[in-house]
Amino acid sequence: MARGRWLFIVTFLVPPLLLYGVFVVSPYAQAFQISATDWGGLSPEYEFVGLDNFRRLLDDGYFWNALRHNAVLLALLPVVTIVLGLVLASMLNVGGRRDRVGVHGVRGAPVYRIVYFFPQVLSVAVIGVLWKEMYAPNTGVVNGTLRAVGLDGLAKPWLGDPRFAFWCVAVVLLWSNVGFYVVLFSAAMQSLPRDIYEAALLDGAGRVTTLVRVTVPLLWDTIQVAWVYLAILAIDGFAVVQIVSDGGPGYASDVVGLRLYKTAFNESQFGYASAIGVAMFFLTLSVAAAFLRVTRREKVEAG
């Protein structure tokens, strides 16, 4: 039996681990190595510069500008997305009026789920191009709608104005992700006993009270996972920003992921770009670990 077990492990576990090591762990390790060089990306020649690239980060205004934008996304995107996801999921599952069949969602909930989840079937490239066209000054849907309802004065070159470009990108990130978490929270809520919601209603709890006092505590582990994924997205944000605004105008919507990309491929400074990537790695790891530690709670075991 022991021999058969080891054969099974070797056959089905070792190959995936090898693939993971080659295609995931190895690039990470190489990034750490390259971050200590002045490699340009094309020539095989390079010199080790030690920690010079990291010292350069401390004085790089473009990097700190991009990091500031990521910090704003980190503070807002997870919170707004999770709150909207919980509210919409609550309406879809327990937001209807109580009747003879008990607690249920609003009428048409299955259709709403499809509508909310629709952005997830689109690729990031399609979403970026779609919203870029929607923000177009003369032909975009946003300005067209404002003009149609008589609000011509509010029509603006959204992606061409430094005051609004970053927030336009933030809206795209929110729109493209909230539907997934609506479905995620809905699936988690469907596993909860309906008796809990029945009891809350009998005690006179309203929708907001039920959401805050009942749903959120019971879904806390799911909310933790959602926050970590959204935090990672907020620290990255490369694809949407690159397609929608390309960090402009004048670096007004730049993020660290885009700064890394342009440093490597536009400026041919792969060593310095790798240092930015290593900084992102530790930043993401630190944020996730800190959040999980702060929000950790003791699990209550059933008696």
Count of domains for the chain: 1
Global confidence as pTM: 0.87
Q: In 40-123, where does DSSP find H-type helix?
A: 52-58, 61-94, 109-117
**Least confident piece of the model among 192-206, 241-255, 262-276:** 192-206
The per-residue pLDDT for 3 is 66
- Residue 196 placed within a domain: yes
The per-residue pLDDT for 302 is 36
- Average of per-residue pLDDT across 251-257: 95
Distance CA 197, CA 193 (A): 8
CA-to-CA dists, residue 273 to 59, 256, 260, angstroms: 15, 10, 5
- Residue 49 placed within a domain: no
- Residue 126 placed within a domain: yes
Residues in a beta bridge with 38 = none
Tokens standing for residue 245: 């605004």
Closest CA to 167 of 156, 179, 152: 156
**Residue 301: Cβ-neighbour burial (10 angstroms; 0-12, 13-18, 19+):** exposed
Amino acid at 90: S
Amino acid at 132: K
Secondary structure letter of residue 35 according to DSSP: T
Tokens standing for residue 207: 């929708």
Q: Which domain holds residue 193?
A: 62-294
Burial 203-218 (b: 16+ CB within 10 A, else e): eebeeeebbeebbeeb
- Residue 243 placed within a domain: yes
Helix 220-236 / helix 256-265 crossing angle, nearest 10 deg: 40
- Tens of pLDDT, residue by residue over 137-173, are 988 999 999 999 999 889 999 999 999 999 999 999 9
- Tens of pLDDT, residue by residue over 179-222, are 999 999 998 988 888 788 778 777 777 778 888 888 898 899 99
Distance CA 153, CA 175 (A): 25
- Residue 129 placed within a domain: yes
- Residue 169 placed within a domain: yes
Helix 270-294 / helix 26-34 crossing angle, nearest 10 deg: 120
Q: What is the CATH number of the domain that holds 73?
A: 1.10.3720.10
- Residue 246 placed within a domain: yes
Distance CA 182, CA 302 (A): 28
- Residue 81 placed within a domain: yes
Distance CA 293, CA 185 (A): 22
The per-residue pLDDT for 243 is 95
